[in-house]
């Protein structure tokens, strides 16, 4: 399977990655190889096999509705690129309103 430059551009845009022409060409080739490798699985006969939803055969892992201690605000904010002591600060969100 061969990915086009357009496919790569779309995936990059969705992942907010900025790629140049060379990157795109390189990734198109590499990602195509990865897809080809995964395509080996298509040879497996899956007729009558239930789709697998999860790699672990486990269900119903719960927690009770009990409050646990939250992080102190300073710790919650500490890795943020920008903050005002109370909030995470991000570049102005532009709504059309």
Residues that bind another protein (CB under 8 A): 10, 14, 16, 53-56, 58-73, 76-77, 79, 82, 84, 86-97
Tokens 């992942």: give the residue: 15
* For another protein, the closer CB: 2 or 10: 10
Task: State the nearest-atom distance from the C-beta of 38 to another protein, in Å.
Answer: 14
Using CA atoms, how far residue 96 sits from 16, 41, 93, in Å, is: 22, 47, 10
Please check whether residue 34 is in contact with residue 8, taking contact to mean a CB–CB distance below 8 angstroms: no
Task: State the nearest-atom distance from the C-beta of 21 to another protein, in Å.
Answer: 20
* For another protein, the closer CB: 17 or 39: 17
* For another protein, the closer CB: 22 or 49: 49
Give Cα 19 to chain centroid, integer Å.
Answer: 17
Cβ burial of 7 (10 Å; 0-12, 13-18, 19+) is middle
Task: State the nearest-atom distance from the C-beta of 46 to another protein, in Å.
Answer: 17
């Amino acid at each position: 399977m061969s990915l086009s430059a357009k496919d790569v551009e779309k995936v990059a845009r969705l992942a907010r990655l900025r790629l140049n022409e060379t990157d795109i060409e390189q990734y198109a080739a590499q990602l195509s190889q990865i897809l080809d490798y995964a395509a080996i699985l298509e040879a497996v006969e899956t007729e009558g096999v239930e789709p697998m939803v999860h790699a672990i055969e486990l269900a119903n892992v719960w927690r009770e509705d009990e409050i646990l201690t939250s992080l102190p605000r300073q710790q919650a904010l500490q890795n943020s690129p920008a903050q005002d002591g109370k909030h995470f600060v991000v570049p102005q969100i532009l709504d059309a309103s």
